[in-house]
Amino acid sequence: MHCRTDFLLERDFQELKENNFKGITAFPVSEDLMEWGADIEGLQNTFWHGLFFQLKINFTSQYNFVPPVVKFLTIPFHPNVDQNTGRACIDILDDPDKWNTSYTLSSILLTLQVMLSNPVLENPVNLEAAQMLIKDESLYKQEVLRLLNQPTQLRNNSPEFPKDPDKLIRSTKAISFNDYYKTWSGIATSKATEYYRSP
């Protein structure tokens, strides 16, 4: 089973290198490739653009029959991110029945990148963020930016950047929002935010 996992993680690594997704950086931080670090930047044309978030991704020998454990180390004030643990709460990561073996590290990171600007407000894990977003979007944006200036970090679990620059995947390829949305909408917990806002 471990050989299969190694093969899949190598495949994911190659996919990230070849596609060079804009605003996504990922790198293994352990020799066995079971622990990865990643940075994602918010999507262009959203207030999240220019904001960067560190993540930690832990794979098991059952990957990709089961999803990895993904946590934000730079924890955003967001309806779908647990403010205490940094856990990203999306159905493909939370519910093994909704996980599909065709998902890759790229699809997970793209989904999280889109999730930032398209929060799911049905059953939020951070109720305060969801309520603020629904009530006053401008105040919510201010709070996100204020908190990012003093980020909550899971400091003890912060991955170290690899010494070998070939192990760092820096993304520069532009992807249209429609492509992001197409990927995200098939994976997300429920419909996008605007469907749940009151007029």
Residue 66 near residue 95, CB atoms below 8 Å? no
- Classified as helix, coil or strand, 117 is helix
Active site residue 89: yes
User: Which are the contacts of 119, defined by CB distance < 8 A and separation ≥ 6?
Assistant: 78, 79, 80, 129, 130, 133, 193
Model's pTM, two decimal places?
0.73
Residue 139, CA distances (Å) to 74, 122, 126, 179, 194 in order: 20, 20, 16, 29, 17
Q: pLDDT truncated to tens, each residue of the chain (199 aa)? A: 567 788 888 888 788 888 888 999 999 998 888 999 999 999 999 999 999 999 999 999 999 899 999 999 999 999 999 999 999 999 899 888 899 999 999 999 999 999 999 999 988 999 999 999 999 999 999 999 998 887 455 444 444 444 454 444 444 444 555 655 565 555 554 444 444 444 4
Q: Which of 16, 34, 81, 89 is catalytic?
A: 89
d(CA 169, CA 25): 5
